[in-house]
């Protein structure tokens, strides 16, 4: 069981907290590039409990800084995005994307001290249609993570942002809990509804898989397994990677190029950012090509607003009970009565409370990956705080190249051998042009 001290350490992400300090070692996917327009209005951005603004000046440079003007702490959200920077409307002080004060017009020229004033800014990078922010203290930021899905050309990539009103950890843990798929998402599906050669058959015929779990250089890894025909095994490989990345197994291992980030906005809000390769294979899940009832993937979103938590909020939410259809639930048409896989997950993780009370848990053997991941996070955060030990992946972006999730049916008896064998056959879209040229 996770005790009260460990729970506090794992869930709090603000400045000066153990997990907040850990998170600040990494690049964070923070906003869509399209949300911040050159010369356009600033964007309110909440990251790790800090209230920031993002803006793009007329030359296209992006700045991410504390929303408070260094002069009198008026919010720069109301500022004017002018040539070369953003101007506070209170007294006209102007700051460029690097936080330099470049104009102090309410101060006589002989008393001007702009060179001594600097807004609190964070380093910014753009990749895969996303603005990334580094909130750490290094003078030179660490390398960007070498996550395969985030390196794909924009034209080959699907990106999804969705906000959840709960702590980041309980949201992330839904992704590393494989047995819930057989209940929450396909609890109403019967084996006779699935084609015999469809791997979903194994999940609905056997809803209690066994597990292997281990630490890895990048975080943790599990393999859920079930017996298959002809002395083969149905394997589901998945990963947690520091500090908040998950790689889920629902799809063919060979071309499952995805990455899922659970970026803490504050202690009780998290922004999910999903990256996936558009060309990955898709399979029908029920016989005759019928979709799973209620398993539509993309939820409808409310219009974005300008408040701190106004971005990427689903129409289905706690205020309308996620539009649950009790008739569909009662008749076993949709196991949860809630449409959209993402909304089924969201309803459950938010129902645990803003921050789940871990003292009420009774963890089972099916939760091995969750307990292992919590321990891995705690050990890394403590090593950073006590000894200054750099956490995993910060300076080793290439570690992510060893990460691939997905399903496979193989004759191999050893799960590590099965993983290595599949990794050798994995499609690598970033290498495809080079391979074709050769």
Dist. CA 30–CA 269, nearest whole Å: 13
**Burial state string for 135-147 with b = 16 or more CB within 10 A and e = fewer than 16:** bbeeeebbeebeb
Amino acid 437: pLDDT: 38
3-state SS of 125-176? EEECCEEEEECCCCCCCCCCCCCHHHHCCHHHEEEEEEEECCCHHHHHHHHC
Amino acid 8: pLDDT: 97
Cα-based torsion angle of the residue sequence 282, 283, 288, 293 in order, rounded to the nearest 10 degrees: -80
Dist. CA 120–CA 99, nearest whole Å: 6
Q: Which of 269, 438, 431, 226 is nearest to 355 (CA)?
A: 269
Amino acid 281: pLDDT: 80
Q: Is the pLDDT of residue 373 over 50?
A: yes
Amino acid 431: pLDDT: 73
What are φ and ψ of residue 261, in 5° steps? Answer: -110, 140
Amino acid 438: pLDDT: 40
Amino acid 432: pLDDT: 59
Amino acid 434: pLDDT: 44
Q: Is the pLDDT of residue 365 over 50?
A: yes
First to last CA, the chain: 53
Per-residue pLDDT of 101-128, as tens digits, reads: 999 999 999 999 999 999 999 999 999 9
Residue 314 β-bridge partners: 301
Per-residue pLDDT of 216-245, as tens digits, reads: 999 999 999 999 999 999 999 999 999 999
pTM of the full predicted structure?
Answer: 0.96
Q: Which of 422, 400, 63, 95 is nearest to 243 (CA)?
A: 400
Pick the CATH number of 27-141 from 3.20.20.140, 3.30.530.20, 2.102.10.10, 1.10.10.10: 2.102.10.10
Residues in the chain, overall count: 438
Please report how the helices 368-387 and 168-175 are oriented relative to each other, as an axis angle in degrees rounded to 10: 130
Listed in order, the ranges of the chain carrying CATH 2.102.10.10 are 27-141
Q: How confident is the model at residue 280 (pLDDT cuts 50, 70, 90)?
A: confident
What are φ and ψ of residue 347, in 5° steps? Answer: -60, -45
Q: Which of 166, 146, 182 is nearest to 266 (CA)?
A: 166
Dist. CA 75–CA 52, nearest whole Å: 9
């Amino acid at each position: 069981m996770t005790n009260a001290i460990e729970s506090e350490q794992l869930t709090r992400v603000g400045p000066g907290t153990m997990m907040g300090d850990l998170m600040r070692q990494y690049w964070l996917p923070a906003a869509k590039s399209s949300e911040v327009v050159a010369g356009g209005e600033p964007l309110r951005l909440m990251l790790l409990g800090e209230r920031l603004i993002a803006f793009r000046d007329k030359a296209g440079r992006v700045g991410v800084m504390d929303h408070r003007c260094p002069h009198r702490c008026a919010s720069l959200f109301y500022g004017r995005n002018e040539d070369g920077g953003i101007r506070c409307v209170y007294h006209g002080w102007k700051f460029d994307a690097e936080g330099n004060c470049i104009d102090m017009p309410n101060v006589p020229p002989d008393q001007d001290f702009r060179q001594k004033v600097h807004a609190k800014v964070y380093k910014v990078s753009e990749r895969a249609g996303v603005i990334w922010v580094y909130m750490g203290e290094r003078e030179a930021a660490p390398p960007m993570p070498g996550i395969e899905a985030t390196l794909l050309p924009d034209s080959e990539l699907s990106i999804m942002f969705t906000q959840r009103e709960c702590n980041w950890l309980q949201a992330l843990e839904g992704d590393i809990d494989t047995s819930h798929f057989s209940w929450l998402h396909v609890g109403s599906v019967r084996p006779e509804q699935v084609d015999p050669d469809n791997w979903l058959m194994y999940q609905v015929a056997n809803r209690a898989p066994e597990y292997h779990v281990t630490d890895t250089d990048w975080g943790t890894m599990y393999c859920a397994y079930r017996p298959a025909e002809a002395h083969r095994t149905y394997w589901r490989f998945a990963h947690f990677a520091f500090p908040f990345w998950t790689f889920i197994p629902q799809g063919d291992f060979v071309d499952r190029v995805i990455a899922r980030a659970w970026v803490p906005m504050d202690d009780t809000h998290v922004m999910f950012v999903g990256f996936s390769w558009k060309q990955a294979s898709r399979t029908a899940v029920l016989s005759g090509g019928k979709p799973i009832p209620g398993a539509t993937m993309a939820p409808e979103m409310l219009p974005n607003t300008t408040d701190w938590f106004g971005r990427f909020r689903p129409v289905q939410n706690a205020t309308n009970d996620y539009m649950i259809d009790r008739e569909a639930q009662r008749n076993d048409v949709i196991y949860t009565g809630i449409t959209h896989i993402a909304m089924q997950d969201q309803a459950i993780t938010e129902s645990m409370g803003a921050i789940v009370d871990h003292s009420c848990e009774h963890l089972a053997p099916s939760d091995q990956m969750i307990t292992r991941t919590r321990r891995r996070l705690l050990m890394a955060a403590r090593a950073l705080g006590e000894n200054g030990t750099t956490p995993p992946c910060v300076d080793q972006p290439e570690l992510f190249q060893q990460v691939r999730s997905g399903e496979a049916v193989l004759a191999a008896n050893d799960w590590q051998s099965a993983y290595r064998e599949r990794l050798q056959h994995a499609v690598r879209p970033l290498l495809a042009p080079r391979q074709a040229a050769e």
